[in-house]
Amino acid sequence: MFDWLIVGAGFAGSVLAERLARGSGKRVLLLDKRRHIGGTAYDHYDDEGLLVHKYGPHIFHTDSKEVFEYLSSFTAWRPYQHRVLASVDGQLVPIPINLDTINRLYNLRLTSFELEAFFAERAEKAPRVRTSEDVIVGKVGREVYEKFFRNYTRKQWGLDPSELDASVTAHIPVRTSRDDRYFTDTFQAMPLHGYTRMFERMLDHPNIKVMLGVDFREVKKSIPHEQVIYTGPIDAYFDDCYGKLPYRSLEFRFETKNTQVFQPAPVVNHPNEHPYTRVTEFKYLTGQEHPKTTLVYEYPRAEGDPYYPIPRPENAELYRKYEALAAATPGVHFIGRLATYRYSNMDQVVAQALGLYAKLTGLPHKRTPF
């Protein structure tokens, strides 16, 4: 008999398994239909011995000291500040758009002050910022928006930015400084030995049993348990009874090159050419020394594993119907990116999971020492 059956061994499920077992002495069964732990953040060594992220590049960044300290119980860190270049008009320029981006693209020598005026002249403010197009056109104007955002977004989402909620592009800043970091969070680092190793340490407890390659739907009736934490897609839990919630998927194509370094930045975005959106070279992220280097190319797909909930008003409405069903389902707690149909980063999911633990137990979620 388990106290808790937890579906999904990603951040949401693993943090709760760890807390309930180590923090509260509960007996936990953690299962995942994939054959590995770590969920979408899973990493592994490929055939050439290079550490890669199976489901695309995962860069850890957070402003939450609490989340960073919690995860630090299970991993040491490698300080890492992410940088991205975009291939636009035959040049590789920084994205987020900054002073160097505009000066290089237009062959100018603007100061930060002058760049503010440059943007102000071109920005078209919408009366109400509703869509992803409104966000960017309202900051930099239509021409720059079209070079960096329009085609990338159409490729990534199969929708025009004008058809997508503002939240998709709102977190990407536009800067008048030369700061070329992708993120500005207080804590930016990669788990020193990878995400999977961190998850292994998190789940290494006698009260946690992990079952992999098992679908919840096939075993839920046969495994005695008190309560459930469900981190898979919320529509699938209810057999898509109101219809499927739309998700965007990706296909990842990995390529190993017989050279130490292949591209001049960890990630190169390709908004306007190629069927893929971006190319990541993992060695920048992992710091691994190796004579070869592995890259991943991301090809957006309509079908496949559910990765990105698609934020549009009609989808939010459909989600609310499932959310109401979830609220009326006693003994089952829905949490994580897929179960809440929300575009959340890893740190937000960890914070959500720690919050749910506190709510379930009335205990603070501080880690009990090993």
**Residue 195: what residue type?**
Y
- 307 touches ligand FAD by CB under 6 A: yes
By CB under 6 A, the residues from 170 to 229 that bind ligand UDP are: 172
Q: Residue 64 CB, nearest distance to ligand UDP (Å)? A: 18
Complex with ligand UDP: residue 23 or 306, whichever CB lies closer = 306
Find the part of the chain contacting ligand UDP (CB under 6 A) among 3-11, 106-114, 117-125, 168-176.
168-176
- Chosen from ligand FAD, ligand UDP, none, partner binding at 156 (C-beta under 5 to 8 Å by type): ligand UDP
Q: Where are the alpha helices (DSSP H) in 185-301?
A: 195-203, 216-219, 234-237, 282-286
For residues 167 and 260, which CB has a smaller minimum distance to ligand UDP in the complex? 167
The DSSP letter of residue 223 is S
Q: By CB under 6 A, is residue 247 in contact with ligand FAD?
A: no
Residue entry with tokens 């760049």:
115
Sign of CA dihedral 70, 74, 76, 79: negative
Q: How far is CA 353 from the centre of its chain?
A: 15
Structure tokens at 10: 């990603």
- The contact pattern for ligand UDP, residues 261-300, with x = CB under 6 A and - = no contact, is --------x-x-----------------------------
3-class DSSP state of 212: strand
Given a contact cutoff of 8 angstroms between Cβ atoms, the answer to whether 310 and 337 are in contact is no
Q: Tell me the C-alpha to C-alpha distance, in Å, between residue 202 and each of 210, 241, 339.
A: 12, 35, 22
Q: Select 278 or 333, whichever has its Cβ closest to ligand UDP.
A: 278
Which of 2, 6, 10, 17 lies at the binding interface for ligand FAD (CB under 6 A)? 10
When asked if residue 183 is in the footprint of ligand FAD (CB under 6 A), the reply is no
CB of 147 to ligand UDP, least distance (A): 10
**Interface positions, 90-149, toward ligand UDP (CB under 6 A):** 95, 148-149
Report the candidate in 213, 223, 216 with the shortest Cα–Cα distance to residue 37: 213
Q: Which does 148 bind (CB under 5 to 8 A by kind): ligand FAD, ligand UDP, none?
A: ligand UDP
- How many CB atoms sit inside 10 A of residue 154's CB? 16
Q: How many CB atoms lie within 10 A of CB 78?
A: 15
Size of the site for ligand UDP (CB under 6 A): 12
Closest of 269, 245, 285 to residue 97, by C-alpha: 269
Can you tell me which residue has the tokens 């994580």?
336
Which positions touch ligand UDP (CB under 6 A)? 86, 95, 148-149, 152-153, 156, 168-169, 172, 269, 271
Contacts to ligand FAD by CB under 6 A:
7-13, 31-34, 39-41, 55-59, 215-217, 231-232, 250, 307, 336-338, 344-347, 349
